[in-house]
Structure 1
Amino acid sequence: MTQKDVVKALIREQGTLYSEAMGAKIEKNTPQELFHWLLGAILLSARISSENAVKAGKGLRKENLYKIRDILDTPRDERIKTLNENGYARFDNIGADEIYAAAELVDEKYNGDLRRLREEADGDDARARRLLSEVKGIGEMGANIFLREAQWPWEEFCPRLDGPAVKEAKDLGLPDDAGKLAKLAGSRERFVRLAAALTRAALEGPAEAVKKAAA
Protein backbone atom coordinates (compact mmCIF):
# COMPACT_ATOMS: atom_id res chain seq x y z
CA MET A 1 0.00 0.00 0.00
CA THR A 2 1.02 3.64 -0.38
CA GLN A 3 2.06 6.17 2.23
CA LYS A 4 -1.32 7.85 1.79
CA ASP A 5 -2.99 4.57 2.70
CA VAL A 6 -0.93 4.40 5.91
CA VAL A 7 -1.85 7.99 6.75
CA LYS A 8 -5.54 7.33 6.13
CA ALA A 9 -5.44 4.24 8.34
CA LEU A 10 -3.67 6.08 11.14
CA ILE A 11 -6.14 8.96 11.14
CA ARG A 12 -9.13 6.63 10.90
CA GLU A 13 -8.01 4.15 13.56
CA GLN A 14 -5.96 6.23 16.01
CA GLY A 15 -6.56 9.86 15.13
CA THR A 16 -8.58 10.89 18.18
CA LEU A 17 -6.89 13.90 19.77
CA TYR A 18 -5.93 13.62 23.43
CA SER A 19 -7.68 16.95 24.04
CA GLU A 20 -10.77 15.60 22.31
CA ALA A 21 -10.74 12.46 24.47
CA MET A 22 -10.71 14.69 27.57
CA GLY A 23 -13.64 16.73 26.26
CA ALA A 24 -11.70 19.85 25.29
CA LYS A 25 -12.79 21.38 21.98
CA ILE A 26 -9.59 23.19 21.11
CA GLU A 27 -10.65 23.87 17.54
CA LYS A 28 -12.97 26.53 18.98
CA ASN A 29 -9.88 28.48 20.11
CA THR A 30 -11.72 29.83 23.14
CA PRO A 31 -10.06 30.63 26.49
CA GLN A 32 -11.98 27.87 28.28
CA GLU A 33 -11.16 25.07 25.85
CA LEU A 34 -7.51 26.08 25.54
CA PHE A 35 -7.13 26.18 29.31
CA HIS A 36 -8.65 22.73 29.67
CA TRP A 37 -6.10 21.45 27.18
CA LEU A 38 -3.31 23.14 29.14
CA LEU A 39 -4.44 21.12 32.15
CA GLY A 40 -4.45 18.07 29.91
CA ALA A 41 -0.84 18.71 28.93
CA ILE A 42 0.07 18.92 32.63
CA LEU A 43 -1.66 15.60 33.32
CA LEU A 44 -0.02 13.89 30.33
CA SER A 45 3.41 15.10 31.46
CA ALA A 46 3.34 12.98 34.62
CA ARG A 47 4.86 9.51 34.82
CA ILE A 48 1.49 7.88 34.32
CA SER A 49 -0.27 6.17 31.44
CA SER A 50 -1.86 8.42 28.85
CA GLU A 51 -5.10 6.50 29.44
CA ASN A 52 -5.17 7.53 33.10
CA ALA A 53 -4.19 11.09 32.26
CA VAL A 54 -7.10 11.31 29.81
CA LYS A 55 -9.43 9.86 32.45
CA ALA A 56 -8.27 12.53 34.91
CA GLY A 57 -8.80 15.25 32.31
CA LYS A 58 -12.37 14.03 31.74
CA GLY A 59 -12.94 13.92 35.49
CA LEU A 60 -11.85 17.52 35.89
CA ARG A 61 -14.30 18.59 33.20
CA LYS A 62 -17.15 16.64 34.78
CA GLU A 63 -16.57 18.46 38.08
CA ASN A 64 -16.13 21.85 36.36
CA LEU A 65 -12.50 21.87 37.50
CA TYR A 66 -11.38 22.86 34.03
CA LYS A 67 -12.53 26.45 34.61
CA ILE A 68 -10.09 28.88 36.12
CA ARG A 69 -12.47 30.50 38.61
CA ASP A 70 -13.86 27.15 39.78
CA ILE A 71 -10.35 25.78 40.34
CA LEU A 72 -9.32 28.85 42.32
CA ASP A 73 -12.51 28.67 44.42
CA THR A 74 -12.40 24.92 45.10
CA PRO A 75 -10.69 23.57 48.24
CA ARG A 76 -7.51 21.60 47.66
CA ASP A 77 -9.05 18.44 49.14
CA GLU A 78 -11.77 18.47 46.48
CA ARG A 79 -9.22 18.81 43.68
CA ILE A 80 -7.25 15.91 45.16
CA LYS A 81 -10.41 13.81 45.47
CA THR A 82 -11.39 14.38 41.84
CA LEU A 83 -7.95 13.40 40.56
CA ASN A 84 -7.72 10.42 42.92
CA GLU A 85 -11.05 9.03 41.75
CA ASN A 86 -10.16 9.45 38.09
CA GLY A 87 -6.97 7.46 37.59
CA TYR A 88 -4.52 9.99 39.00
CA ALA A 89 -4.05 8.54 42.47
CA ARG A 90 -0.25 8.46 42.38
CA PHE A 91 -0.03 12.15 41.59
CA ASP A 92 -3.22 13.55 43.07
CA ASN A 93 -1.52 15.87 45.56
CA ILE A 94 1.00 17.19 43.05
CA GLY A 95 -1.65 17.42 40.34
CA ALA A 96 -4.02 19.35 42.59
CA ASP A 97 -1.31 21.93 43.26
CA GLU A 98 -0.23 22.11 39.63
CA ILE A 99 -3.69 22.78 38.23
CA TYR A 100 -4.22 25.46 40.87
CA ALA A 101 -0.89 27.07 39.99
CA ALA A 102 -1.81 26.93 36.28
CA ALA A 103 -5.16 28.61 36.93
CA GLU A 104 -3.46 31.27 39.03
CA LEU A 105 -0.77 32.04 36.45
CA VAL A 106 -3.11 32.12 33.44
CA ASP A 107 -5.56 34.27 35.37
CA GLU A 108 -2.93 36.77 36.51
CA LYS A 109 -0.60 36.90 33.51
CA TYR A 110 -3.04 36.38 30.63
CA ASN A 111 -6.32 37.50 32.18
CA GLY A 112 -7.56 33.94 31.81
CA ASP A 113 -6.96 33.83 28.06
CA LEU A 114 -4.14 31.71 26.59
CA ARG A 115 -4.62 33.47 23.27
CA ARG A 116 -2.63 36.28 24.88
CA LEU A 117 0.26 33.82 25.25
CA ARG A 118 -0.12 33.11 21.55
CA GLU A 119 0.09 36.82 20.79
CA GLU A 120 3.17 37.21 22.98
CA ALA A 121 4.89 34.28 21.27
CA ASP A 122 4.23 35.96 17.90
CA GLY A 123 4.70 32.78 15.90
CA ASP A 124 8.04 31.90 17.53
CA ASP A 125 7.87 28.22 18.46
CA ALA A 126 10.75 28.40 20.94
CA ARG A 127 9.23 31.44 22.65
CA ALA A 128 5.84 29.75 22.87
CA ARG A 129 7.44 26.73 24.52
CA ARG A 130 9.32 28.97 26.96
CA LEU A 131 6.14 30.81 27.93
CA LEU A 132 4.25 27.56 28.37
CA SER A 133 7.08 26.21 30.52
CA GLU A 134 6.40 28.99 33.03
CA VAL A 135 3.32 27.02 34.02
CA LYS A 136 4.03 24.69 36.93
CA GLY A 137 3.99 21.09 35.68
CA ILE A 138 4.67 22.05 32.06
CA GLY A 139 8.26 21.34 31.13
CA GLU A 140 9.65 20.90 27.64
CA MET A 141 7.58 17.77 27.11
CA GLY A 142 4.38 19.40 28.34
CA ALA A 143 4.92 22.42 26.10
CA ASN A 144 5.37 20.12 23.11
CA ILE A 145 2.23 18.18 24.05
CA PHE A 146 0.20 21.38 24.26
CA LEU A 147 1.45 22.77 20.96
CA ARG A 148 1.09 19.45 19.15
CA GLU A 149 -2.69 19.82 19.31
CA ALA A 150 -2.96 23.59 19.70
CA GLN A 151 -1.40 23.87 16.23
CA TRP A 152 -4.87 23.10 14.87
CA PRO A 153 -6.32 26.51 15.83
CA TRP A 154 -2.91 28.20 16.06
CA GLU A 155 -1.84 27.70 12.46
CA GLU A 156 1.45 29.58 12.79
CA PHE A 157 2.83 26.61 14.75
CA CYS A 158 1.81 24.09 12.10
CA PRO A 159 3.24 21.75 10.97
CA ARG A 160 5.13 20.45 14.00
CA LEU A 161 5.96 16.89 15.02
CA ASP A 162 7.96 15.80 18.04
CA GLY A 163 8.62 13.07 20.55
CA PRO A 164 8.00 9.39 19.83
CA ALA A 165 5.78 10.27 16.85
CA VAL A 166 8.86 11.11 14.77
CA LYS A 167 10.37 7.64 15.12
CA GLU A 168 6.99 5.97 14.69
CA ALA A 169 6.48 7.73 11.37
CA LYS A 170 9.79 6.37 10.15
CA ASP A 171 9.01 2.88 11.46
CA LEU A 172 5.75 2.89 9.50
CA GLY A 173 7.51 3.88 6.29
CA LEU A 174 6.39 7.50 6.39
CA PRO A 175 8.50 10.66 6.18
CA ASP A 176 9.64 11.90 9.58
CA ASP A 177 9.51 15.47 8.30
CA ALA A 178 6.47 17.46 9.49
CA GLY A 179 6.10 19.36 6.22
CA LYS A 180 6.02 16.21 4.11
CA LEU A 181 3.56 14.54 6.49
CA ALA A 182 1.32 17.61 6.36
CA LYS A 183 1.16 17.30 2.57
CA LEU A 184 0.21 13.63 2.87
CA ALA A 185 -2.47 14.46 5.45
CA GLY A 186 -4.05 17.09 3.22
CA SER A 187 -5.33 19.59 5.81
CA ARG A 188 -4.29 21.11 9.11
CA GLU A 189 -6.90 19.18 11.09
CA ARG A 190 -5.91 15.90 9.45
CA PHE A 191 -2.24 16.59 10.12
CA VAL A 192 -2.92 17.24 13.82
CA ARG A 193 -4.91 14.02 13.95
CA LEU A 194 -2.04 12.25 12.21
CA ALA A 195 0.40 13.58 14.83
CA ALA A 196 -1.88 12.29 17.58
CA ALA A 197 -2.25 8.94 15.80
CA LEU A 198 1.50 8.54 15.45
CA THR A 199 1.91 9.33 19.15
CA ARG A 200 -0.73 6.76 20.07
CA ALA A 201 0.87 4.20 17.76
CA ALA A 202 4.25 4.81 19.40
CA LEU A 203 2.89 4.51 22.95
CA GLU A 204 0.24 1.81 22.48
CA GLY A 205 1.31 0.07 19.27
CA PRO A 206 -0.12 0.55 15.79
CA ALA A 207 -3.68 -0.60 15.17
CA GLU A 208 -4.02 -3.76 13.08
CA ALA A 209 -5.36 -1.79 10.11
CA VAL A 210 -2.33 0.48 10.32
CA LYS A 211 0.05 -2.50 10.39
CA LYS A 212 -1.71 -3.95 7.36
CA ALA A 213 -1.47 -0.65 5.45
CA ALA A 214 2.22 -0.32 6.31
CA ALA A 215 3.11 -3.91 5.39
Structure 2
Amino acid sequence: MSARGTLEELLERHGTTYAGEAGIRLRDTPRPLYQLLVLSHLLSARIRAEIAVASARALFSHGLRTPRRMADATWQERVDALGEGGYRRFDERTSTQLGEEALLLLDAHGGDLRRLRREAQDDTDMLGAGLRRFPGIGPAGADIFLREVQSVWPETAPHLDAKALQGAERLGLPTEPDELLRLAKGEDPAVLAAALVRGALDSG
Protein backbone atom coordinates (compact mmCIF):
# COMPACT_ATOMS: atom_id res chain seq x y z
CA MET A 1 0.00 0.00 0.00
CA SER A 2 1.24 3.53 -0.77
CA ALA A 3 2.03 5.96 2.02
CA ARG A 4 -1.03 8.00 1.05
CA GLY A 5 -3.20 4.87 1.20
CA THR A 6 -1.81 3.94 4.61
CA LEU A 7 -2.51 7.41 5.92
CA GLU A 8 -6.03 7.47 4.50
CA GLU A 9 -6.75 4.14 6.18
CA LEU A 10 -5.34 5.43 9.47
CA LEU A 11 -7.46 8.58 9.34
CA GLU A 12 -10.54 6.56 8.47
CA ARG A 13 -9.97 4.35 11.49
CA HIS A 14 -8.67 6.88 13.99
CA GLY A 15 -9.63 10.31 12.65
CA THR A 16 -10.98 11.70 15.92
CA THR A 17 -9.13 13.85 18.41
CA TYR A 18 -8.98 12.73 22.03
CA ALA A 19 -10.89 15.89 22.95
CA GLY A 20 -13.66 14.89 20.56
CA GLU A 21 -13.74 11.40 22.03
CA ALA A 22 -14.08 12.90 25.52
CA GLY A 23 -17.03 15.02 24.42
CA ILE A 24 -15.12 18.31 24.48
CA ARG A 25 -16.29 20.74 21.80
CA LEU A 26 -12.96 22.47 21.54
CA ARG A 27 -13.13 26.23 21.01
CA ASP A 28 -10.93 29.13 22.00
CA THR A 29 -12.96 29.79 25.14
CA PRO A 30 -12.08 29.14 28.80
CA ARG A 31 -14.29 26.14 29.57
CA PRO A 32 -13.29 23.74 26.76
CA LEU A 33 -9.64 24.77 27.05
CA TYR A 34 -9.72 23.89 30.74
CA GLN A 35 -11.40 20.58 29.98
CA LEU A 36 -8.60 19.84 27.51
CA LEU A 37 -6.06 20.55 30.28
CA VAL A 38 -7.83 18.02 32.52
CA LEU A 39 -7.94 15.45 29.71
CA SER A 40 -4.24 16.00 28.94
CA HIS A 41 -3.44 15.46 32.61
CA LEU A 42 -5.33 12.16 32.68
CA LEU A 43 -3.92 10.92 29.37
CA SER A 44 -0.34 11.54 30.47
CA ALA A 45 -0.47 8.89 33.20
CA ARG A 46 0.60 5.31 32.54
CA ILE A 47 -2.94 4.15 32.01
CA ARG A 48 -4.92 3.15 28.92
CA ALA A 49 -6.14 6.07 26.86
CA GLU A 50 -9.72 4.82 26.84
CA ILE A 51 -9.75 4.83 30.66
CA ALA A 52 -8.38 8.37 30.74
CA VAL A 53 -11.05 9.52 28.28
CA ALA A 54 -13.82 7.77 30.22
CA SER A 55 -12.57 9.34 33.45
CA ALA A 56 -12.56 12.81 31.92
CA ARG A 57 -16.14 12.26 30.77
CA ALA A 58 -17.07 11.13 34.29
CA LEU A 59 -15.55 14.24 35.86
CA PHE A 60 -17.42 16.46 33.40
CA SER A 61 -20.69 14.58 33.93
CA HIS A 62 -20.35 15.37 37.66
CA GLY A 63 -20.24 19.05 36.76
CA LEU A 64 -16.48 19.48 37.16
CA ARG A 65 -16.15 21.36 33.88
CA THR A 66 -14.52 24.57 35.10
CA PRO A 67 -11.56 25.27 37.36
CA ARG A 68 -13.86 26.84 39.95
CA ARG A 69 -16.09 23.77 40.08
CA MET A 70 -13.07 21.48 40.23
CA ALA A 71 -11.46 23.48 43.03
CA ASP A 72 -14.70 23.65 45.01
CA ALA A 73 -15.35 19.88 44.76
CA THR A 74 -14.16 17.78 47.66
CA TRP A 75 -11.20 15.50 47.26
CA GLN A 76 -13.55 12.51 47.65
CA GLU A 77 -15.93 13.78 44.98
CA ARG A 78 -13.05 13.92 42.52
CA VAL A 79 -11.86 10.45 43.56
CA ASP A 80 -15.35 9.02 43.10
CA ALA A 81 -15.72 10.54 39.63
CA LEU A 82 -12.31 9.22 38.58
CA GLY A 83 -13.27 5.79 39.89
CA GLU A 84 -16.40 5.80 37.75
CA GLY A 85 -14.19 6.15 34.71
CA GLY A 86 -11.95 3.31 35.85
CA TYR A 87 -9.05 5.61 36.83
CA ARG A 88 -8.36 3.76 40.06
CA ARG A 89 -4.63 3.22 40.07
CA PHE A 90 -3.81 6.94 40.30
CA ASP A 91 -7.14 8.30 41.57
CA GLU A 92 -6.04 9.63 44.98
CA ARG A 93 -2.93 11.46 43.79
CA THR A 94 -4.72 12.70 40.68
CA SER A 95 -7.63 14.05 42.74
CA THR A 96 -5.17 16.13 44.75
CA GLN A 97 -3.36 17.34 41.64
CA LEU A 98 -6.61 18.29 39.88
CA GLY A 99 -7.57 20.45 42.83
CA GLU A 100 -4.14 22.11 42.95
CA GLU A 101 -4.12 22.53 39.16
CA ALA A 102 -7.50 24.28 39.21
CA LEU A 103 -6.44 26.64 42.01
CA LEU A 104 -3.23 27.56 40.20
CA LEU A 105 -5.15 28.28 36.99
CA LEU A 106 -7.56 30.50 38.90
CA ASP A 107 -4.83 32.31 40.83
CA ALA A 108 -2.28 32.75 38.04
CA HIS A 109 -4.53 33.18 34.99
CA GLY A 110 -8.01 33.99 36.25
CA GLY A 111 -9.17 30.53 35.19
CA ASP A 112 -8.49 31.32 31.53
CA LEU A 113 -5.76 29.48 29.60
CA ARG A 114 -5.95 32.12 26.88
CA ARG A 115 -3.99 34.37 29.24
CA LEU A 116 -1.20 31.79 29.26
CA ARG A 117 -1.35 31.80 25.46
CA ARG A 118 -0.98 35.58 25.36
CA GLU A 119 1.92 35.47 27.81
CA ALA A 120 3.69 32.95 25.57
CA GLN A 121 3.53 35.40 22.62
CA ASP A 122 3.27 32.67 19.98
CA ASP A 123 6.31 30.87 21.42
CA THR A 124 5.38 27.18 21.66
CA ASP A 125 8.34 26.39 23.89
CA MET A 126 7.27 29.10 26.33
CA LEU A 127 3.69 27.84 26.18
CA GLY A 128 4.85 24.30 26.94
CA ALA A 129 6.88 25.57 29.89
CA GLY A 130 3.81 27.39 31.19
CA LEU A 131 1.71 24.25 30.93
CA ARG A 132 4.33 22.24 32.80
CA ARG A 133 3.92 24.51 35.81
CA PHE A 134 0.53 22.92 36.49
CA PRO A 135 0.60 20.02 38.98
CA GLY A 136 0.44 16.72 37.11
CA ILE A 137 1.31 18.24 33.72
CA GLY A 138 4.78 17.09 32.75
CA PRO A 139 6.35 17.00 29.29
CA ALA A 140 3.92 14.29 28.11
CA GLY A 141 0.86 16.20 29.33
CA ALA A 142 2.07 19.44 27.74
CA ASP A 143 2.64 17.63 24.42
CA ILE A 144 -0.86 16.13 24.54
CA PHE A 145 -2.38 19.56 25.16
CA LEU A 146 -0.36 21.12 22.32
CA ARG A 147 -1.24 18.29 19.92
CA GLU A 148 -4.94 18.80 20.54
CA VAL A 149 -5.13 22.60 20.90
CA GLN A 150 -3.53 23.27 17.50
CA SER A 151 -7.05 23.10 16.02
CA VAL A 152 -7.91 26.39 17.74
CA TRP A 153 -4.45 27.86 18.47
CA PRO A 154 -2.94 27.77 14.96
CA GLU A 155 0.39 29.22 16.08
CA THR A 156 1.11 25.86 17.76
CA ALA A 157 0.66 23.95 14.49
CA PRO A 158 2.01 21.69 13.27
CA HIS A 159 2.67 19.95 16.57
CA LEU A 160 3.64 16.39 15.74
CA ASP A 161 5.59 15.30 18.79
CA ALA A 162 7.77 12.24 19.35
CA LYS A 163 4.78 10.01 20.09
CA ALA A 164 3.04 10.98 16.86
CA LEU A 165 6.22 10.54 14.82
CA GLN A 166 6.76 7.16 16.47
CA GLY A 167 3.37 6.16 15.11
CA ALA A 168 4.37 7.36 11.65
CA GLU A 169 7.57 5.33 11.76
CA ARG A 170 5.82 2.16 12.90
CA LEU A 171 3.34 2.51 10.06
CA GLY A 172 6.07 3.06 7.47
CA LEU A 173 5.10 6.70 6.94
CA PRO A 174 7.46 9.66 6.61
CA THR A 175 8.74 10.98 9.93
CA GLU A 176 9.20 14.57 8.81
CA PRO A 177 6.22 16.72 9.88
CA ASP A 178 6.13 18.67 6.62
CA GLU A 179 6.00 15.45 4.58
CA LEU A 180 3.21 14.07 6.75
CA LEU A 181 1.20 17.25 6.35
CA ARG A 182 1.64 17.14 2.58
CA LEU A 183 0.42 13.55 2.57
CA ALA A 184 -2.55 14.48 4.76
CA LYS A 185 -3.68 17.05 2.16
CA GLY A 186 -5.14 19.69 4.44
CA GLU A 187 -6.31 17.44 7.25
CA ASP A 188 -6.55 19.15 10.64
CA PRO A 189 -3.09 18.62 12.18
CA ALA A 190 -4.72 17.80 15.54
CA VAL A 191 -6.66 14.96 13.91
CA LEU A 192 -3.52 13.79 12.12
CA ALA A 193 -1.52 13.82 15.36
CA ALA A 194 -4.19 11.90 17.29
CA ALA A 195 -4.45 9.29 14.54
CA LEU A 196 -0.68 8.80 14.49
CA VAL A 197 -0.55 8.42 18.28
CA ARG A 198 -3.29 5.80 18.14
CA GLY A 199 -1.36 4.11 15.36
CA ALA A 200 1.69 3.98 17.64
CA LEU A 201 -0.37 2.49 20.47
CA ASP A 202 -2.03 -0.06 18.17
CA SER A 203 1.27 -1.25 16.78
CA GLY A 204 3.01 -1.19 20.15
TM-score normalized by the length of structure 2:
0.94
CA distance in 2, matches of 1:122, 1:5: 38
> For 1:12-27, what aligned pairs fall within 5 Å after superposition?
12-26=12-26
Measure how far apart 1:172 and its partner are: 2.0
Quote how far apart the aligned CAs of 1:188 are: 5.4
For 1:54 and 1:181, how far apart are their aligned partners in 2?
26
1:152 has 2:151 as partner: yes
> How high is the sequence identity, in percent, across the aligned residues?
38
CA-to-aligned-CA distance 1:24-63 (integer Å, 9 cap, x gap): 122x211100100100111011121111111101101111
SS at match of 2:90: helix
Q: Could you say which residue in structure 2 is the equivalent of 1:141?
A: 140
Task: Give the aligned length.
Answer: 204
1:200 aligned partner, one-letter code:
R
C-alpha separation in 1, matches of 2:157 and 2:187? 7
The corresponding residue for 2:118 is: 119
From 175, 180, 194, the counterpart of 1:196: 194
Distance across 1 between alignment mates of 2:64 and 2:181: 34
Q: Could you say which residue in structure 1 is the equivalent of 2:3? A: 3
165-174 or 48-57, which deviates more: 165-174
Within 2, Cα distance between the matches of 1:2 and 1:134? 42
Q: Determine the structure 2 residue equivalent to 1:62.
A: 61
In the alignment, the residues of structure 2 paired with residue 173 and residue 90 of structure 1 have an alpha-carbon distance, to the nearest angstrom, of 34
Match of 2:32 in 1: 33
Conserved in 1, the CA contact under 8 Å of 2:171 and 2:199? no
Per the TM alignment, residue 187 of structure 1 is displaced from its structure 2 partner at its CA by 2.5
**2:43 alignment partner in structure 1:** 44
Alignment of 1:72 with 2:71, yes or no, is yes
Q: CA deviation at 1:138?
A: 0.3
- Deviations along 1:56-104, one digit per CA (max 9) or x if unpaired, are 0110111111211211221111111111121111111111111111111
Deviation of the 1:136 alpha carbon: 0.2
Q: How does 1:156-171 map to 2 (within 5 A)?
A: 156-171=155-170
Structure 1 segments of 4+ aligned residues over 6 angstroms from their partners: none
**Higher relative CO (CA 8 A, sep ≥ 6), structure 1 or 2?**
1
Q: What SS does the corresponding residue of 2:158 show, helix, strand or coil?
A: coil
Checking the alignment, whether the CA contact within 8 Å between 1:161 and 1:195 is kept in structure 2 is yes
5+ residue gaps, structure 2: none
Question: Normalising to structure 1: TM-score of the pair?
Answer: 0.90
- Contact 1:39/1:66 (<8 A) preserved: no
- Structure 1 residue runs of 5 or longer lacking an equivalent are 207-215
Q: Which residue of 1 aligns with 2:106?
A: 107
Q: How far apart in 2 are the matches of 1:188 and 1:29?
A: 19
The alignment yields a C-alpha RMSD, in angstroms, of: 1.4
Query: 2 CA distance for matches of 1:31 and 1:184?
Result: 33
